[in-house]
Amino acid sequence: MRGFNPGRWSEPDYGGILDLHADVAIAGAGPAGVAAADTLARAGLTVALLDAGRHWTPRDFPRTMADALRHLYDGRGPLVAVGSTVIPVTAGRGVGGGSLINSAICFRAPPEVLREWREEAGAELFTDDRLGRIWDALWKRMDIGPDPLAVQGPNNRAFFRGAEALGLAPRWFERNTPGCLGCARCPLGCSAGGKNSVDRAILPEALETGRLGVFANCRVEAVEREGDRVRALLGSILDPETDAPRGALRVRADRFVLAMGAIRTPRFLLGTGLAGPPCGQHLHLHPAAGMLCRYPFPVDPWAGTTQGCYVDRRDEGYMLETVLLGPDQLYAMLPLPLGPELNARLADVAHVGSSGFMIRDEDSTGSVGLNGMRYALGPGDLRRFLAAMRRCSEVFFAAGATEVYPGVMGGVVLREPDDIPRAIHDGLRPHEIFVYASHPQGTARIHPDPRLGTVDPRGRVHGLANLHVVDGSVFPSAAGVNPMMTIMAVATALAEDLAGVG
Amino acid sequence: MRWSRRRFLVAAVLGGVAASVGGFAWLGRPAAGMRALAPLELRVVRALAEALFPAGGPIGVDPLAVGTVEEVDRILAEVFEAEAARAFRYLLRTLEFGTLLSRGLPFTALPPAERLEVLRVWNGKEPLPRRLAMDSLRSVFGMAYFSRPPVLAAIGWRDLCPVR
Ligand SMILES: Cc1cc2nc3c(=O)[nH]c(=O)nc-3n(C[C@H](O)[C@H](O)[C@H](O)COP(=O)(O)OP(=O)(O)OC[C@H]3O[C@@H](n4cnc5c(N)ncnc54)[C@H](O)[C@@H]3O)c2cc1C
- The pLDDT, as a whole number, for residue A199 is 98
Specify the DSSP class assigned to residue A85.
S
Q: A99 in ligand 1 pocket by Cβ < 6 Å? A: yes
Model pLDDT for residues A11-40, shown as the tens digit of each residue: 999 999 999 999 999 999 999 999 999 999
Chain A nearest-CA residue for B137 = A332
B-proximal residues of A, 424-443, CB under 8 Å: 429-432
What pLDDT, on a 0 to 100 scale, did the predictor assign at position A451?
97
B residues 17-46 near A, CB within 8 Å?
Answer: none
Distance, CA A439 to ligand 1 centroid (Å)? 8
Q: How confident is the model over A320-363, as pLDDT tens digits?
A: 999 999 999 999 999 999 999 999 999 999 999 999 999 999 99
Ligand 1 geometric centre to CA of A292 (Å): 26
Does the beta carbon of A101 lie under 8 angstroms from any beta carbon of chain B?
no
8 Å CB contact of B81 and A431: no
Confirm if A301 and A181 have CB atoms less than 8 A apart. no
A238 lines ligand 1 (CB under 6 A): no
Statement: residue B163 has pLDDT above 80: no
Question: Rounded mean pLDDT of A417-424?
Answer: 97
Residues A423-450 have a mean pLDDT of 97
**pLDDT tens across A95-111, in order?**
999 999 999 999 999 99
- Indicate whether residue A381 lines ligand 1 (CB < 6 A): no
Q: What is the pTM of this model?
A: 0.95
The protein residue with its alpha carbon nearest to ligand 1, atom 49, reads A97
Percent share of chain A, pLDDT over 70: 100
Q: Does the CB of A84 have a partner CB in chain B at under 8 Å?
A: yes
Looking at residue B126, its pLDDT comes to 80
Average pLDDT, chain A: 97
**Banded pLDDT at B25 (limits 50, 70, 90):** low
Q: Is the CB of A101 under 6 A from ligand 1?
A: yes
Q: How many residues does chain B have?
A: 164
Q: What is the CA radius of gyration of chain A?
A: 22
Partners of residue B159 in chain A, C-beta under 8 Å: 63, 183, 185, 302
Mean pLDDT over the full length of chain B:
86
The better pLDDT of the pair B21, B81 is held by: B81
Q: How many CA atoms lie within 13 A of B34 on its CB side?
A: 24
Hey, of B62, B138, B161, which one would you mutate to test binding to chain A, going by the most A CBs within 10 A of its CB? B161
pLDDT of A312 reads: 98
Cβ pair B60:A59 closer than 8 A: no
B8 CB within 8 Å of a chain A CB: no
Residue A219 is inside which H or E element, if any?
A: strand A218-226
Shortest alpha-carbon distance between residue B99 and chain A (Å): 18
pLDDT band at B5 (very low <50, low <70, confident <90, very high): very low
Ligand 1 contacts CB of residue A162 (under 6 A): no
| C-beta separation of A100 from A56 below 8 A | yes
CB pair distance less than 8 Å for B128 and A86: yes
Average pLDDT, integer, range B98-123: 93
For residue A483, the ligand 1 atom closest to its alpha carbon is 11
CA distance A37 to A212: 7
Instruction: Say how far apart CA A65 and CA A57 lie, in whole Å.
Output: 17
| pLDDT given for residue B155 in this prediction | 97
Per residue in A199-211, pLDDT tens?
A: 999 999 999 999 9
- Residues B128-151 have a mean pLDDT of 94
What ligand 1 atom has the least distance to the C-alpha of A31?
Answer: 25
pLDDT at residue A215 above 90? Answer: yes
Q: Is A265 in the pocket of ligand 1 (CB under 6 A)?
A: no
Closest residue in A to B118 (Cα) is A338
Counting ligand 1 atoms within 8 A of each CB, the residue from A26, A38, A49, A51 with the most, and so the one to mutate, is: A51
pLDDT at A178 over 60: yes
- Residues in B closer than 8 angstroms to A69, CB to CB, are 79
B57·A340 Cβ contact <8 A: yes
Of A108-117, A316-325, B71-80, B123-132, the least confident:
B123-132
- Which has more pLDDT, A261 or B4? A261
Q: How many CA atoms lie within 13 A of B45 on its CB side?
A: 29
**Option in B1, B142, B144 nearest A429 (CB):** B1
Q: State which of A80-89, A229-238, B13-22 shows the largest mean pLDDT.
A: A229-238
Q: Are B157 and A302 an interchain contact pair (Cβ–Cβ within 8 Å)?
A: yes
Question: Contact, A267 vs A248, CB < 8 A?
Answer: no
Look at residue B3 and tell me whether its pLDDT is greater than 80.
no
Determine the average pLDDT of the residues in B99-115.
Answer: 94
Mutate which of A258, A323, A438, A490 for ligand 1? The one with the most ligand atoms within 8 Å of its CB, which is: A438
The pLDDT-based confidence of A378 (bands split at 50, 70, 90) is very high
DSSP for B89-152, please give it: HHHHHHHHHHHHHHHSS-GGGS-HHHHHHHHHHHTSS-SHHHHHHHHHHHHHHHHHHTTSHHHH
Ligand 1 within 6 A of CB of A29: yes
Whose CA is closest to A144, among A169, A192, A108?
A108
Range A121-147 burial, b when 16+ CB lie within 10 A, else e = bbbebbeeebbeebbeebbeebebeeb
- Is the bond preceding residue A278 a cis peptide, omega within 30 degrees? yes
Check residue B153 and give its pLDDT.
97
Measured between beta carbons, which residues in chain A are less than 8 angstroms from residue B163?
58-59, 191-192
pLDDT in tens, A132-155: 999 999 999 999 999 999 999 999
| Contact between residue A193 and residue A179 where contact means Cβ atoms under 8 Å apart | yes
Residue A359, ligand 1, Cβ within 6 A: no
